[in-house]
Structure formats: C-alpha cells, structure tokens
Amino acid sequence: MTEPRRRPPGSTDVARLAGVSQKTVSRVMNGEQYVSDEVRERVLAAARELGYRRNTAARALNLGRFHRIGVASLGTSLFGPSSLLIALERRVREIGYAFTVVNTLEGEEGGIMKAVESLLEQGVDGIVLSEPIDEGQTLRIEADVPVLSFGELAGLDGPRVMVTGGSGVGAGRTATEHLLGLGHATVWHVAGPSRWFAARDRAQGWREALAAAGAPEPPMLEGDWSPASGYAAGRILAADPEVTAVFVANDDMAIGLLRALTEAGRAVPEQVSVVGMDDIPSAAYLSPPLTTIRQDFEATAAHGLELLVERIESGPGQAIRDDLPMELVVRRSTAPPKE
C-alpha cells in the first residue's frame, strides 16, 4: 500500500457522485444555461461535498488562455511604483484575471527583457511594464502577447505593443507653473534618475513651463529618488542665493532637500519654495508641510488595463498616448518670493 497521496477531486469524481456526466459538471461550474435546476443542485452539492475546485492547469490547457496578466516591475518600495502596483493588482482582479509580478532588480543587465521572458514562460495573456526605465537596448518582444507600457519605452518594439502615458509631463508643468505663478523668476529642478521615463517626463514638463513663461532654465540636478540624493542636491542649491523655488521630482528627495535647506539656514518657504511629487502620506506632516502633486494611480491602472484587456480579448487596436489626471496639493512649503 503506497502513500495515500490522494490527488484533488476532478470533475469526473463530482460527476460520479452526482450521477451525471463529466461534461454536465463542467457546464454547471461554468454557469452555462441548459442545465435543469434539479441537476444543477445535485452537482453543486456533490462538488461541495468533495471540496471540488476547477483545475486551472487543465482549463488553461484546454482554453489556450491563462487569464493571467503579468507585470514586470522594479522591486522598489518607492511610493509611486508600489502604489501603482497595488492599483494594478486590484484592477486586474476586478476584471477577472490572475496577477503575477516579476521584479527586475534595478541595475541588472537587461533586467526588463529577462522579466518579460520569465513572464512569457509562466504563460500570461498580457504583460504590463509598470515602471519602464531605459536600459539602452532595444526591447523587442517576439511573442504573440500584448504588452502595455506606462511611458514611452525607447526601443520597445513588437507586434502588439501599446503605450499609455502617466502624468509626468503634465505634473512637471503644473508644479512649475504654480511656482512661477507665485512670482518666482524661475524654478530649479531636482530630477529623478534619467533612466526613468517618469523622471524624464517630469523634467520635460518643467522645461516646457519655463519656456512658455519665458523664464530662464537653470541647470538641472539629478537625484536617484532617495532622500539622501535630495539632501545632496539641497546642499548645492542652498549655497546659491539665486535659488528661490525648486521643483523636486518626488517627495522623498524633497525631504532630503528640506533638511539640507534647514541646516543651511535657508527658511522654507520664506527664502525658498519647494514643490514635491507623490503626496506621500507624511508629506502633510513635514516641516513645513509639503506642497506636492498627487497622481491618480487607480485611474492610470484602470485605463491602461482596459486597453490591454481589449487587445487580449479582441485583437489589435490603435495605440493611445495621453496624460492622466493629477492634482496639485498646496501646503506650506511654497510662497511668493520674499524680496
């Protein structure tokens, strides 16, 4: 007598117990019509009794689809990316798909491509590149799987690729316009790492707003999203008395910047105004409370996934590029210039 390693019950077992055919069980489990109430009841009772659960593998094999969406993400606990990931998960589940994540450690060679390959091997119906960064190589995805990228990923190419915008450019523009509107002669910018398209977008929005207002464009500083890098940038900016307004590409860097300004005796907002981005939960409790920009990750996720699922279920459509809604949250870190 071998190990009683009983395999889980299948539709055949349920069928036997209910005294019907396997096919009828399948019909009941899929809620098809043309099953008498009496039979349906009997099957459901049998299924309950046996603890029956449909076998996903067999279903996927038969249907040729997995009902699974894979996300290649960046494995960072940064507020933006992780918020987007949560929004994606929720939305994916709402539309009846399963959810898989593969993280690509930043800096890893060809990380995104590896992540995509891993997703393809797992078998997914659609792929999302949630935080595309520029890895300096073309990213050609051969498989017959639609791919959604949040942000223009240079070199991304393939038969079924589509791109939808975040709110980067608009956000950069809004933040900069806010500061200019307060009367500042120009606005400095501490950007995120340039490999990130989100960082590029924000910087571009900043540039556009300056140009539109005819304001001079000061040299741009680049951080790595971390408070430490914001602090480093802050030390540089604090030393320059010309600096009266700064747009920082995320709140974490803004925290470091605030600290550097404080240490240098530059008062915020009296001497320097600061705008962050993300509206992290602690933004309202910093010293001073931070003016920042809040993105709507729920909307971003929903919009992108809608496009993706449409491709999955009915084939190609046209790509879309658009800015999604965002909101300026004015707190106490911005004010008109002192002078």
Partner DNA sequence: GGGGCGTCTGACTACGTAGTCAGACGCAAG
Partner DNA sequence: CTTGCGTCTGACTACGTAGTCAGACGCCCC
- Binding residues for DNA, rule: CB under 7 A, are 7-8, 10-12, 19-24, 26-27, 29-30, 33-36, 38-39, 52, 54-55, 58-59, 61-64
Q: β-strands 292-295, 326-329: how paired?
A: antiparallel
Judged by CB under 8 A, the chain residues 120 through 179 that form the site for a copy of itself are: 120-123, 142-144
234 close to 256: Cβ distance less than 8 angstroms: yes
Residue whose tokens read 């005819």: 214
- Dump the DSSP string for 143-171: SS--EEEES--TTEE-TTEEEE--SHHHH
Closest CB 146 distance from a copy of itself, rounded Å? 14
Structure token digits, residue 269: 């907002």
Judged by CB under 8 A, the chain residues 271 through 330 that form the site for a copy of itself are: 281-282, 284-287
Is there binding between residue 51 and a copy of itself (CB under 8 A)? yes
Closest CB 58 distance from DNA, rounded Å? 3
Residue whose tokens read 């190419």: 157
Size of the site for a copy of itself (CB under 8 A): 57
Is there binding between residue 30 and a copy of itself (CB under 8 A)? no
User: CA geometry: angle at 233 spanning 184 and 249, to 5°?
Assistant: 65
Tell me which amino acid residue 104 is: T
Give the Cα separation of 154 and 132 in Å (integer): 9
**CB-nearer residue toward a copy of itself: 207 or 332:** 332
The residue ranges that bind a copy of itself (CB under 8 A) are 7-8, 51, 53-61, 64, 66, 68, 75-77, 79, 82-83, 86, 89-90, 93, 98-103, 105, 118, 120-123, 142-144, 226-228, 230-231, 252, 255-256, 258-259, 262, 281-282, 284-287
